[in-house]
Structures are given as C-alpha cells and as structure tokens.
Amino acid sequence: MLNLGWPLTRRVIFSMDAETAHERTLGLLSAAPGALGGLASLTMGKPAPSLARDAFGVRLAGPVGLAAGLDKNGVAIPFWPTLGFGFVEVGTVTAHPQPGNPKPRMFRIPEDGAIINRMGFNNGGSEALAVRLRALRESGRWPTCPVGVNIGKSKITPLDEAPEDYRISARRVAELADYLTVNVSSPNTPGLRELQDRGPLEAILTAVLAEAGDTPVLVKLAPDLEPEAIAEVVDLAVELGLAGLIATNTTIGREGLTHDPGESGGLSGRPLWPLARQRIQVALDASAGRLPVVGVGGIHEAAQVADLLRAGCVAVQLYSSLIFEGPGLPSRIHRELARREISGGDLP
C-alpha cells in the first residue's frame, strides 16, 4: 500500500528541498514507527528465509541492507526492517555532536537518479546514539535483523588525534551494536580520506578493535582510492583481523552525470555504479576470499545485486535508489533474488 501510493508521495516529497523532505520523513518515522512499520510490513514483507545468510560475523535476514547516512542518529531503527532490509547501518556518528556543513548541502538530481551531498557528518554524537540503542535493547524493540553503527571523526578533532576520537565512539556503542563500521571515506570532512593511508588507518583500526570486544569491525572505503591503495587496505584489514570491508562511499568525481548542478560534495546513485562496481571488484580480487566484501554504490535493481553476489560479495547496501524508487525497493529486490533462486547456500 505504501508503495502503491509512491508516485504521488514522491511528487509531494520531491516538491520540498532534499534535506527538508529527509527531516520530515524521519520525523514521521520516529514519531510513529509502530503504525508505519505495521503498514509497511503488511505490504512489503521480510526477505524469504532462503535469502538469510551468515556474513561478517552476523546473521543477515537478506543480502540487501540500508547504507549509512540515511538514519544517522538511529531515530527510526525499528522501521527499516519493515521495508524488507536484511540489515541496517546507522550513523555516521562522531565522538562530539556536530551541526555539519551550512545548508543547503543535499541535492537531488532526478534526471540521473543521483544525489550530491556535503552534509559533513551532522549528527547528535555517539553518546546520544548509545542511549537510544540501549533503550531499544532494554525495551525489546531491537530488530530481528542486524543493526550496525558507522563511526567517523569529529570535525574539531585534529587528524593526528583521530584514533582517540574513533576509540571514544567505539567504546560507547560497541556492546550495543551488532557490528561497527569505521568510516574513513567521506569526502565532506577535511582530510578524512587521508586516514585511509596505511599508517593512520592502522592506528585507528587498532584503537577501535581494542574497544570492540566480540563485535565485528568493518572499514568503509572511497571509490576514489586507486586500486593499489585498496589492495593495501585489504591486506591491512586481513592482518588486523577485521570482519569485512564496505566498498564504496560517495565519489568526488562527476563521471556519468548528465545534469551537473555544480555543487561540491559526494556523488551517489546511478552514475556511481560503474566506478563502484570496478572498485568492488578490486577489493574482491585483492581479498581473494580472505575478507568479506559488502558492495555499495548506485544499486537500484536485483540484477546488480545478483551480479555482485555472484562476483563474491557477501551482501550489498543501498541509499540513493530508495529515495528515487520508493520504500518498496528492498523487498522488491529480495523477492526477485528469491525468484532467481539466489539463496544463501549458493553464495561463497
């Protein structure tokens, strides 16, 4: 039902500027997650049991997950699985709450099915998220699918103090999250992506692993990294015993964009797919089965997911296509995968 009304709903949502629409939708979802979730689960449905799988140390309900950035503060966690997502990633949160960059900072490009954003990790901080996660756990409303927490560096923290900043967030949320993602790949925090270099990255990952206990830790990379650099991160991740790698974040490139609004920030959605697909392959090849890879970037249909799973990804995530295709997308993709008999058992 939610999705039958999607063309009209989309017209209403797209009549607002991107961030206002985002905030109002999240406001609604956090105010009435039960009612809207009930309606959604009636019409969307969970992934078929054959699609469930073990991946990076957790049991996914299905291979298609919600990518980080949509629910940064984890205000609508119980709602996302009702859309049929197999797992959910909230964040990025930082050790210090911060407002992010001046608005406007999120731009829809409907002609290209793309988004440019320079949000700059606007978030209420990892402590506030920890309080929310604990309340969910204690009230028994924790979803049946895994919920990961994506952590990043606070803007006010100098780059050379980054390990401590990540450590603080990891300490707060590790025992509450089903997995942690270390985000060193947003283009919107000055210098952040330099932290993908081996030296700084090793210090950050070591600090996070020291706090993580049994909680799996993944690292998320930028598609703008050269293949050699991706291979180096894969080796480091294997050496340190990370649970997996997420490729990719948004790109600073504008390749494939036909309607360039001339705004700075990271590009996501359909134009990102060719680059993301290539970088995912680099990660898969470098890993050679040693490290689970989660594919993300421009995914909007089941054929892409099937392609990535066959190539060796353990799971995928999406964000931008949910905005353009509507809330029925994750369950539609899962249904199509089940129809194609792409089951957990078929996968590496």
Ligand X SMILES: Cc1cc2nc3c(=O)[nH]c(=O)nc-3n(C[C@H](O)[C@H](O)[C@H](O)COP(=O)(O)O)c2cc1C
Q: Which is nearer to ligand X, 5 or 123 (CB)?
A: 123
Minimum CB separation of residue 18 from ligand X in Å reads 8
Q: Which is nearer to ligand X, 79 or 273 (CB)?
A: 273
Residues found near ligand X in the complex (CB under 6 A): 67-69, 72, 92, 106, 115, 117, 119, 121, 150, 183, 186, 220, 249-250, 268-269, 272, 296-299, 318-321
Residue 262: Cβ within 10 Å count: 7
Q: Which of the 8 DSSP states describes residue 215?
A: S
Q: Is 186 a catalytic residue?
A: yes
Residue with tokens 């180096």, as numbered in its chain = 232
The two structure tokens encoding residue 32: 């009435």
C-beta nearest to ligand X: residue: 69
Helix ranges (DSSP H) in 44-142: 126-138
Minimum CB separation of residue 151 from ligand X in Å reads 9
Distance between CA atoms of residues 223 and 323, nearest Å: 21
Distance between CA atoms of residues 133 and 147, nearest Å: 10
Q: Which is nearer to ligand X, 92 or 289 (CB)?
A: 92
Distance between CA atoms of residues 299 and 304, nearest Å: 6
Q: Which is nearer to ligand X, 34 or 313 (CB)?
A: 313
Q: Which is nearer to ligand X, 5 or 191 (CB)?
A: 191
Q: Which residue out of 186, 268, 320, 321 is catalytically annotated?
A: 186
CB-based contact 266:211 (threshold 8 Å): no
Minimum CB separation of residue 129 from ligand X in Å reads 12
Minimum CB separation of residue 255 from ligand X in Å reads 13
Three-state helix/strand/coil letters over 132-183: HHHHHHHCCCCCCCCEEEEECCCCCCCHHHHHHHHHHHHHHHCCCCCEEEEE
Minimum CB separation of residue 345 from ligand X in Å reads 26
User: What distance lies between CA 291 and its chain's CA centroid?
Assistant: 18
- Residues with catalytic annotation? 186
